[in-house]
């Protein structure tokens, strides 16, 4: 994530420097400045979108790996195991969303009884419903999997963090505020959109 943060910062810094040089270039007409600012803005926007898409795919792939490790059953599992796991998922899903106490009790009873499939099913439901106490209890009783549990929780929470999404939004230069992105793409291509030209 640090590399992605650095890349994000570098993209913004380079774009700001480029835009400043465009604004300060007295050899450019107002129309030429707008066109170059549009290109710089769109390059930044596309770069940030590409970075976000890459991170989303990486996170989705990693999340799938962790979920299989924590919740899933081996691909070599026989039909009876698959049926038993499906039944365990049904039992866990029947617990009311606000009844985390019951889920915690089911987790501990399943662990004591050696019912690994039910333990996995309860944990899967806990992540789905964000039962923090159940997740923490599982991690405490399975220290070898604590790192995986923490990583999966972090990925899940980042995916739901609305504010984190703002990190990939490119701020439109004030000179271009009256133009839509589609109009800016027309402008960047060398054509003139139907809107007034800003004065620098």
For residues 50 and 112, membership in a common domain is answered with no
Average pLDDT of the residues in 189-198: 61
pLDDT digits (tens, 9 = 90+) for 12-36: 999 999 999 999 999 999 999 999 9
Read off the tokens for 119.
Answer: 């333990």
Tokens of 136: 């923490």
Cβ(123)–Cβ(152) below 8 Å? no
Q: Each residue of 154-188: pLDDT tens digit?
A: 988 876 555 566 778 899 999 999 999 999 999 99
What Å distances lie between residue 182 and 38, 65, 171, CA to CA?
Answer: 11, 38, 15
Q: Examine the domain organization and report whether 117 and 51 are in the same domain.
A: no
Do residue 64 and residue 80 come from a single domain? no
The per-residue pLDDT for 161 is: 53
Q: Do 91 and 118 belong together in one domain?
A: yes
Do 158 and 174 lie in one domain? The reply is no
- Whether 198 has a pLDDT exceeding 70, the answer reads no
- For the stretch 74-128, pLDDT in tens is 778 889 999 999 999 999 999 998 999 999 999 999 999 999 999 999 999 999 9
Same domain for 86 and 158: yes
Are 150 and 179 in a shared domain? no
> What distances in angstroms separate CA 173 from CA 7, 44, 51, 187, 200, one per listed residue?
20, 11, 21, 14, 12
Structural domain boundaries enclosing 5: 1-70+170-200
Tokens 């439109």 correspond to 172
């Amino acid at each position: 994530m640090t590399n992605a943060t650095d890349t994000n910062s570098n993209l913004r810094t380079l774009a700001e420097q480029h835009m400043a040089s465009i604004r300060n270039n007295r050899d450019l007409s107002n129309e030429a400045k707008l066109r170059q600012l549009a290109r710089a803005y769109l390059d930044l926007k596309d770069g940030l979108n590409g970075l976000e898409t890459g991170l989303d795919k990486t996170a989705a792939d990693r999340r799938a790996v962790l979920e299989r490790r924590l919740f899933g059953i081996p691909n070599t599992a026989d039909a009876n195991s698959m049926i038993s796991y499906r039944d365990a998922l049904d039992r866990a899903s029947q617990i009311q969303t606000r009844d985390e106490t019951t889920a915690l009790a089911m987790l501990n009873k399943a662990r004591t009884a050696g019912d690994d499939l039910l333990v996995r099913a309860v944990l899967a439901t806990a992540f789905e419903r964000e039962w923090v106490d159940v997740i923490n209890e599982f991690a405490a009783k399975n220290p070898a999997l604590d790192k995986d549990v923490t990583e999966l929780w972090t990925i899940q929470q980042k995916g739901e963090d609305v504010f984190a999404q703002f990190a990939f939004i490119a701020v439109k230069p004030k000179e271009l505020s009256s133009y839509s992105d589609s109009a800016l793409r027309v402008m960047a291509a060398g054509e003139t959109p139907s809107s007034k030209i800003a004065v620098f």
